[in-house]
């Protein structure tokens, strides 16, 4: 079973920041938090991942709470092309990528 | 080359047909995966190959037969499928385990849309 809990769906206005929450209260000390997204009928796309520290790349920022029990993916300026299902996944070095239900993000004009 | 290539993109097959899905990567990844995704559902892990050996079979019916002929290629042989097997079949690859896996995660192909009639 997936180790994460995410809202089923969220809306965001184009140009605004999209903040997608994820709960992973049973995460182990050596497990990372990964975010992938899947645009309709395409393969999942890697976005970002982290262990303890906040991370930022050209696509997004990842904020992980100090107790590591939850995290937030931030898309700073959402566009219509960011409409997708976003998956938060916890994985360790010996694990496999197991998808939960994800959050369907709809970016609206 | 940073891609996973899946062929064909679309496949329609009858219940008595035999067909194969192909997946290829040239990133030097030593782990490869098959996922099945039904409409409006998340991808479900089917098989894991590590160093060309099957390491995980998630109780997949025998009408699905995976094969890893070499480190760059992964096949999924299909035989006597049912209409409920219609789905998007996704292939992925990764560094096998450890730091490489954690640093880069998985790379997915675009999938093969399979319809069984």
Task: Please count the CA atoms within 13 angstroms of the CA of B47 that sit on its side-chain side.
Answer: 22
A1 pLDDT more than 60: no
Contact A87/B at CB under 8 A: yes
B13 touches chain A (CB under 8 A): no
Q: pLDDT by residue (tens digit) across A40-75?
A: 889 999 999 999 989 999 999 999 999 999 999 999
pLDDT for A61 equals 98
Does residue B99 register a pLDDT over 80?
no
What is the DSSP code (8-state) at residue A40? T
- Give residue A68's region: left, alpha or beta (phi > 0; psi -120 to 50): left
Å between A76 CA and nearest CA of chain B: 22
Name residues 27-86 of chain B within 8 A of A (Cβ).
33, 42-45, 48, 56
d(CA B52, CA B32): 8
Q: Do A93 and B106 touch (CB under 8 A)?
A: no
Query: Of the candidates A21, A26, A37, which has an alpha carbon nearest to the alpha carbon of residue A99?
Result: A37
Contacts of A102 in chain B (CB under 8 A): 42
Chain B residues touching A44 at Cβ < 8 A: 43, 90, 92, 106, 108
Q: Tell if the CB–CB gap between B110 and A101 is shorter than 8 Å.
A: no
Which element (helix H / strand E) includes B99? helix B99-104
Alpha-carbon distances of B117 from B5, B65, B83, B89, rounded to whole Å: 25, 19, 6, 16
Q: Taking CA atoms, what residue in B is nearest to A94? A: B97
C-alpha of B32 from chain center: 8
The predicted structure's pLDDT at residue A71: 97
pLDDT digit string, tens, across residues B67-91? 999 999 999 999 999 999 999 999 9
Cβ <8 Å between A87 and B56: no
pLDDT at A2 over 70: no
Range with lowest mean pLDDT among A68-82, A85-99, B89-103? B89-103
Task: Say yes or no to pLDDT of A30 above 80.
Answer: yes
Half-sphere exposure of A94 (CA within 13 A, CB side): 2
Task: Compute φ and ψ for B31, nearest 5 degrees.
Answer: -125, 135
Top pLDDT among B99 and A49 is at A49
Neighbours of A8 (CB within 10 A): 8
Interface size between A and B, measured as CB pairs under 8 A: 56
Residue B117 has pLDDT above 70, yes or no: yes
Task: Give Cβ neighbours of residue A93 (< 8 Å, ≥ 6 apart).
Answer: A30, B97, B98, B99, B101, B102
């Amino acid at each position: 079973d997936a180790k994460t809990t995410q809202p089923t769906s969220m809306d965001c206005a184009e140009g605004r920041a999209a903040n997608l929450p994820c709960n992973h209260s049973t995460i182990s000390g050596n497990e990372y938090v990964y975010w992938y997204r899947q645009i309709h009928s395409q393969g999942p796309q890697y976005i970002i991942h982290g262990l303890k520290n906040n991370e930022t790349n050209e696509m997004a920022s990842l904020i992980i709470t100090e107790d590591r029990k939850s995290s937030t993916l931030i898309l700073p300026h959402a566009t219509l092309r960011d409409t997708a299902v976003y998956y938060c996944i916890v994985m360790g070095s010996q694990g496999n990528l197991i998808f939960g239900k994800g959050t369907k993000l709809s970016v609206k004009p | 080359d940073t891609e996973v290539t899946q062929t064909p993109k679309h496949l329609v097959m009858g219940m008595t047909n035999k067909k194969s899905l192909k997946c290829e990567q040239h990133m030097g990844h030593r782990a490869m995966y098959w996922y099945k995704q039904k409409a409006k559902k998340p991808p479900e892990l089917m098989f894991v190959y590590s160093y060309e050996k099957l390491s995980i079979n998630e109780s997949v019916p025998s009408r699905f037969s995976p094969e890893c002929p070499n480190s760059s290629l992964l096949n999924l042989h299909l035989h006597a499928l049912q209409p409920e097997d219609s789905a998007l079949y996704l292939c992925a690859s990764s560094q096998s385990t450890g730091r490489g896996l954690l640093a880069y995660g998985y790379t997915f192909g675009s999938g093969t849309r399979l319809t069984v009639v």
